[in-house]
Amino acid sequence: MAGMQILGTHHVTALCGDAQRNVDFYTKTLGLRLVKLTVNPEEPGAYHFFYGDAVGSPGSLMSFICKPRGPLGARGVGMFSSVAFAVPIGSLAFWRDRLESFSPDRHRNPHGEDCITFDDPDGLRLHLVERLRSNPDVWTNGGVATSAAIIGIDGLILSSRTHASKQFIPQTLGLTTRLESLMQSGNMLSRFDVGDGFFDVMPTEHRSLAGRGTIHHASLRVADNAALQSWWKELTDRGTPVSEVRDRIYFKEIYFREPGGALISLATDKPGFTCDEKRSELGTHLCIPEALMARQNEFERLLPPIKLPAGIA
């Protein structure tokens, strides 16, 4: 699998309800940058937001497809149940105070790490974990100082009831086992390294329901188009059904499901989010994919108006 190394987490895509509430929470409360305002290629009448650091670096990206009339989802078997963000050492006290209205629970997670757990306005479960990491492109114009600003995605938590999920991660994706000795609900909780972050497989029997407040898929980074094609062949040869390569403008992507049913994608780092906007203009206007440009007036008429945060270089 030379040249096919998983480099880390690329992005996480979740479903939300009210667009304005989502923008306000992730930019004003969490202090992330809205790096791209676009539409969902599979459902062009719905907003698709990308939040991240100053340039939308892979590994910093949290994205949302807005479904205001969709059902409320439920975390459970066969989906990514939550996502962890890395924050600077010593910043959890700041975040506990800032998130007071969201009932943050400061505790030690199953791996013994001090963290804050809370839900976003749609019920999506989030964690903040202190890490000795840096990001030169950290976004500090969202009302959060550098000493506390979110560095990027730290980890993914996959809920599964099958042992095959824990086998698939190292055997097929090649991720290294970090921990295999923790008990959760009488079962082994596994942790794997993914770049400088982690990928947990957590046992659960809770039934899941896709909808607002749940994660649609989690994406892992690969170097380039050649690596993506190699992964497509590798997964196909192993008998894993995989989608065709999809051009998302800012990256290329393939999708597949792990044995427990959770949707995973692999995505390339380039061309990135400045391919159709200047860095100073990221997230300041609606970007319509070229293939849908003929319908731009329709989108602008149907999409609900939202007040955007200022885009500052």
pLDDT of residue 268: 98
Low-confidence ranges of the chain (pLDDT < 50): 185-186, 313
309 is a domain residue: no
312 is a domain residue: no
CATH assignment of the domain containing 59: 3.10.180.10
Cβ neighbourhood burial of 12 (10 Å; 0-12, 13-18, 19+)? buried
Q: How far apart are CA 80 and CA 230, in angstroms?
A: 25
The domain total for the chain is: 1
85 is a domain residue: yes
Q: For the segment 36-51, what is each residue's pLDDT rounded down to a tens digit?
A: 999 987 787 899 999 9
23 is a domain residue: yes
Q: For the segment 117-161, what is each residue's pLDDT rounded down to a tens digit?
A: 999 999 999 999 999 999 999 999 888 999 999 999 999 999 998
Helix (H, G, I), strand (E, B) or coil at 67: coil
Q: The whole model's pTM is what?
A: 0.94
Polymer length in residues for the chain: 313
311 is a domain residue: no
Domain boundaries, position 52: 8-302
227 is a domain residue: yes
2 is a domain residue: no
pLDDT of residue 313: 43
